């Protein structure tokens, strides 16, 4: 993979190329942005470019020994540091400091890529700070992170921060068609759902993921007709799915977003993310008040964020489904003949501890 082959991020790649051409490459970078938009790929490609034996026009050749070693993960001067368990530990940064005492073995630069640097323990971050304060020559350090605010300000101030943008829908759909042979119509839907992330789009190539999305959207589309016991059973089954939960909540968010867009814009289906569910979006959107949709969206984000901690997943999911059911029947009244519920205050998220 060369700079020319990276999808999107043209502004950042042009900036790196200019810095290379002017021989003004900073010694340390932070690449920030969401998952699946090319941060790690760009970092590795930059490592290849600075060490390529035939490097010309600010790109790598992808054929020389150095490029091939880098691509296979065997270049002695390209080190990638990832978390060991839940964190990047101080021992890993100490080992890096040891390596930095010596000159690069084969290449022009030793490149260290610290992936997801927000996972650094505070001691590790402080140890890295010392390295960044006095970087040895012929070294390039690249940190990747979701958000700049997840890193120590003292680290941020010593690096050039390059914020990566989500990819354009067209860039993703073109890639799905060309690299994976997806039909253009299906690729357009998948690209919308990917929300700018190529890795999310790639996950959608898995039919199971699409089936799951269909199941989830059909469940929430018909939630006003669901019986409470069915919803409790769904929350129980949902909880058992583990790693897919985060993605499921992402689907739920796209659904809520579509309902809101439908209400606010009286949208044509072009504005919808779930294009294949357009009819159901139109049917369901009138069941909710706009502020309830915003409230549900916020809650889905809260639960998604809280998944990282030890929350009671089943209780959280039950509350989410029951609230959605309650809000769906607020406007039109209960299908069993009860009158519409009276206006309620904002929902307060229950604090749940343990499992």
| Interaction between residue 44 and Zn ion (CB under 5 A) | no
For residues 16 and 182, which CB has a smaller minimum distance to Zn ion in the complex?
Answer: 16
| Interaction between residue 284 and Zn ion (CB under 5 A) | no
| Interaction between residue 245 and Zn ion (CB under 5 A) | no
| Interaction between residue 67 and Zn ion (CB under 5 A) | yes
| Interaction between residue 52 and Zn ion (CB under 5 A) | yes
Provide, rounded to whole angstroms, the least separation between the CB of residue 75 and Zn ion.
11
Give the separation between CA 149 and CA 170, rounded to whole angstroms.
Answer: 30
Provide, rounded to whole angstroms, the least separation between the CB of residue 53 and Zn ion.
5
| Interaction between residue 60 and Zn ion (CB under 5 A) | yes
Q: Which of these ranges, 56-64, 201-209, 314-322, 340-348, lies near Zn ion under the rule CB under 5 A? A: 56-64
Q: Which of these ranges, 53-61, 78-86, 245-253, 286-294, lies near Zn ion under the rule CB under 5 A? A: 53-61
Contact status, residue 138 vs residue 164, Cβ threshold 8 Å: no
Contact status, residue 203 vs residue 247, Cβ threshold 8 Å: yes
Contact status, residue 290 vs residue 264, Cβ threshold 8 Å: yes
Number of other residues whose CB lies within 10 A of the CB of residue 292: 23
For residues 113 and 235, which CB has a smaller minimum distance to Zn ion in the complex?
Answer: 113
Q: Is the dihedral of CA 88, 12, 167, 67 positive or negative?
A: negative
Phi, psi of 262 (to 5 degrees): -60, -40
Provide, rounded to whole angstroms, the least separation between the CB of residue 290 and Zn ion.
55
What tokens were used for 236? 């129980």
| Interaction between residue 129 and Zn ion (CB under 5 A) | no
Q: Is the dihedral of CA 92, 98, 101, 102 positive or negative?
A: negative
| Interaction between residue 61 and Zn ion (CB under 5 A) | yes
Degrees (nearest 5) of the Cα angle 351, 118, 252? 50
For residues 8 and 107, which CB has a smaller minimum distance to Zn ion in the complex?
Answer: 107
Interface residues with Zn ion (CB under 5 A) are 52, 60-61, 64, 67
């Amino acid at each position: 993979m060369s700079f020319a082959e990276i999808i999107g991020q043209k502004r950042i790649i042009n900036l790196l190329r200019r810095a290379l051409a002017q021989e003004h490459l900073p010694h340390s970078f932070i690449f920030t942005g969401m998952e699946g938009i090319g941060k790690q790929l760009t970092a590795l490609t930059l490592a290849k470019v600075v060490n390529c034996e035939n490097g010309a026009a600010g790109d790598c050749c992808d054929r020389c020994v150095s490029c091939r070693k880098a691509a296979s993960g065997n270049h002695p001067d390209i080190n990638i540091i990832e978390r060991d368990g839940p964190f990047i530990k101080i021992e890993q940064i100490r080992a890096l400091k040891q390596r930095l005492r010596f000159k690069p073995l084969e290449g022009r630069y030793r490149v260290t890529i610290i992936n997801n640097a927000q996972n650094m323990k505070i001691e590790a971050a402080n140890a890295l700070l010392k390295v960044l304060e006095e970087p040895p020559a012929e070294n390039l350090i690249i940190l990747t992170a979701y958000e700049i605010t997840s890193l120590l300000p003292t680290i941020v101030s010593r690096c050039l921060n390059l914020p990566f943008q989500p990819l354009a829908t067209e860039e993703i759909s073109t890639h799905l068609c060309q690299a994976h042979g997806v039909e253009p119509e299906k690729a357009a839907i998948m690209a919308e759902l990917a929300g700018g992330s190529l890795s999310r789009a790639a996950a959608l190539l898995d039919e199971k993921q699409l089936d799951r999305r269909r199941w989830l959207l059909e469940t929430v589309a018909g939630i006003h007709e669901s019986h409470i016991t069915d919803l409790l059973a769904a929350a129980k089954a949902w909880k058992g799915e583990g790693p897919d939960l985060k993605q499921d909540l992402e689907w739920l968010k796209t659904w809520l977003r579509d309902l809101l867009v439908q209400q606010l814009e009286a949208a044509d289906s072009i504005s919808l993310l779930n294009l294949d569910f357009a009819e159901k979006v139109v049917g369901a959107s009138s069941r909710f008040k706009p502020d309830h949709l915003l409230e549900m969206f916020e809650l889905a984000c809260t639960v998604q964020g809280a998944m990282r901690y030890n929350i009671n997943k089943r209780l959280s999911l039950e509350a989410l489904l029951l609230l959605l059911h309650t809000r769906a029947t607020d406007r039109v009244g209960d299908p069993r003949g009860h009158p519409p519920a009276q206006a309620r205050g904002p929902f307060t998220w229950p604090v749940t501890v343990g499992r």
